[in-house]
Amino acid sequence: MLAKPGQLPAASPMHQSERAIAEENDIVERAKTNPEVFGFLYEKYYRSIFVFIDRRVEDRQTADDLTSQVFLKAMLNLPKYQFKGLPFSAWLYRIASNQINEFYRNSHQSRVVSLDDTHLERLFGEAGETAHRDRANLVRHLLDQLEPAEVQLLELRFFEDRPFKEIAYILDITENNAKVKTYRILEKLRKLLNLNEG
Amino acid sequence: MAEKYRLKINPPPPTDEEIAARKNFDRVLGQYRRTAKSRSLHDTISRLNKSVPVFILMLLLALLIVYFGQVMRRRNQPAPKPAPTQTGLNPATARGAAPDQLPLSLAVA
């Protein structure tokens, strides 16, 4: 039986069991013929999509507008959705990612990248550096060398801790390509660290 | 030149109240219904836009085929036989034309 939206577990929707993913797909299939059923998915994922967008834009109103657009597009394109063994949220994040790209293409503003201390810890840990003082400044230099698609990958992998399979799906690239690009980003960071030390 | 990226370090996350205040499925459902309706109208019009010119061309082609069919049929019909005339009579004088109205060659003769 379906849980009511308010009773859904608070755990990250990106890490669901196979059974939960299959159950969710049943809801998606029902929502294809009855748009009101989509309300369950809206309730379940509104928060995570809003936060995802909010970290990538300047203000909350823009995040609100873009989040509404994401869910509207998801509803309109639901008949085209094909289950690929991933949580439905991966498809929503993919739409959100495209929506953010479209917003920056049209507005010509500088992209916003949100960072927490824990993200920096994780990123520098992966690069093999744990004791650097001016990490924020180094990340600023690193970002200057990266294209928007690479920054998106950096955010998804190191700031949001997503598996490569989902990153590849969200960015519409192969899993292997996502791994290679991540390796290259880390190489760039290591070079910057070496330059800084030298 | 504008900077490529704007860094936000440790931005405050949105509160539960803020998220709840913005969440509104009825609004999205209403937008969906309006867009889906206008989309289906747009789809019908674009389908018509594609099919109407094809239909007109087909109609013109059919009319042309019928027209040329009739022309060809008329051409292939045997020519009507000329009306019988009295032998030895000039067709012009036989109709009662005055000699001064005859062509010069006939008047001289």
CA-only gyration radius of chain A, Å: 18
- Number of structural domains in chain A: 2
Q: Are residues A177 and A126 in the same domain?
A: yes
Residue A58, pLDDT above cutoff 50: yes
Provide the token pair at A51: 């936060």
- Residue-level pLDDT at A4: 39
What is the pLDDT at residue B103?
56
Q: Are residues A32 and A84 in the same domain?
A: yes
pLDDT reported for residue A5: 39
**CB-based contacts of B7, cutoff 8 Å, min separation 6:** A113, A114, A115, A136, A139, A140, A143
The DSSP string of A117-163 is: HHHHHHHHHHTT----S-HHHHHHHHHHTS-HHHHHHHIIIIIS---
Q: Are A97 and A171 in contact (CB under 8 A)?
A: yes
**In this predicted model, what pLDDT tens digit does every residue of B31-67 receive, in sequence order?**
999 998 887 777 777 777 878 888 899 999 999 999 9
Whole-angstrom Cα distance, residue A20 to residue A40? 14
Q: Is the pLDDT of residue A65 over 50?
A: yes
Chain A touched by B21 (CB under 8 Å): no
Among B3, B6, B26, B27, pick the best mutation site for testing chain A contact (most A Cβ within 10 A): B6
Minimal CA separation from A39 to chain B, in Å: 6
**pLDDT greater than 80 at residue B98:** no
Nearest neighbour of B32 by CB, restricted to A35, A51, A64: A35
Is residue A101 in some structural domain?
yes
For residue B58, report the phi and psi dihedrals to the nearest 5 degrees. -65, -40
pLDDT digits 0-9 by tens, A120-129: 888 888 877 7
At residue A2, the pLDDT reads: 39
Contact pairs from chain A to chain B, CB under 8 Å: 86
Domain final residue, candidates A53, A77, A107:
A107
How big is chain B by its Cα radius of gyration, in Å? Answer: 43
Q: Which of the four pLDDT bands, split at 50, 70 and 90, describes residue A74?
A: very high
Question: Are A35 and A93 members of one domain?
Answer: yes
pLDDT classification of B68: cutoffs 50, 70, 90: very high
Residues A34 and A95 in one domain: yes
Rounded Cα distance between A16 and A63, Å, is: 26
Residue A182, domain extent: 117-197
Per the domain annotation, does A3 fall within a domain?
no
Same structural domain, A129 and A189:
yes
Contact A139 B7 (CB under 8 A): yes
Q: Tokens standing for A5?
A: 């939206």
- DSSP string covering A21-63, please? HHHHHHHHHHHHH-GGGHHHHHHHHHHHHHHHHHTTSS-HHHH
For chain B, helix (H) and strand (E) counts, in that order, are 4, 1
Q: In terms of domains, do A95 and A126 share one?
A: no
Closest to A38 measured CA to CA, from A85, A70, A1: A70
What's the CA gap between A88 and A21, in Å, rounded?
8
Other CB atoms within 10 Å distance of the CB of residue B17: 8
Whether A129 and A71 share a structural domain:
no
Does ipTM exceed 0.90?
no
pLDDT tens for residues A84-119? Answer: 888 899 999 999 999 999 999 999 899 999 988 888
Q: Which of A68, A84, A107 is the last residue of a domain?
A: A107
Q: Is A111 on the interface with B (CB under 8 A)?
A: yes
pLDDT band at A52 (very low <50, low <70, confident <90, very high): very high
How much is the pLDDT for B101?
A: 58
CATH number at residue A143: 1.10.10
Are B25 and A67 an interchain contact pair (Cβ–Cβ within 8 Å)? Answer: no
Residue B32 CA to residue A75 CA, distance in Å, equals 7
Give me the residue from B14, B19, B29 closest to A35, CB to CB.
Answer: B29
| CA neighbor of A89 nearest in space, from A151, A166, A150 | A166
CB atoms within 10 A of CB A56: 25
**A116 in B contact zone (CB under 8 Å):** yes
Instruction: Tell me which of A107, A136, A157 is where a domain ends.
Output: A107
Segment A145-150 mean pLDDT: 88
CB B6 within 8 A of CB A113: yes
- As a whole number, mean pLDDT of residues B101-109 equals 52
Q: Check residue B65 and give its pLDDT.
A: 94
CB A168 within 8 A of CB A90: no
Q: How far is B44 from chain A (nearest CA, A)?
A: 17
Q: Mean pLDDT across chain B, nearest whole number?
A: 79
Q: Is pLDDT of A73 > 70? A: yes
| CATH number for the domain that contains residue A81 | 1.10.1740.10
CB A127 within 8 A of CB A186: yes
Please determine, for residue A165, whether its predicted confidence score (pLDDT) is greater than 60. yes
Q: Are residues A20 and A99 in the same domain?
A: yes
Q: Closest Cα partner for A112 from B9, B14, B19? A: B9
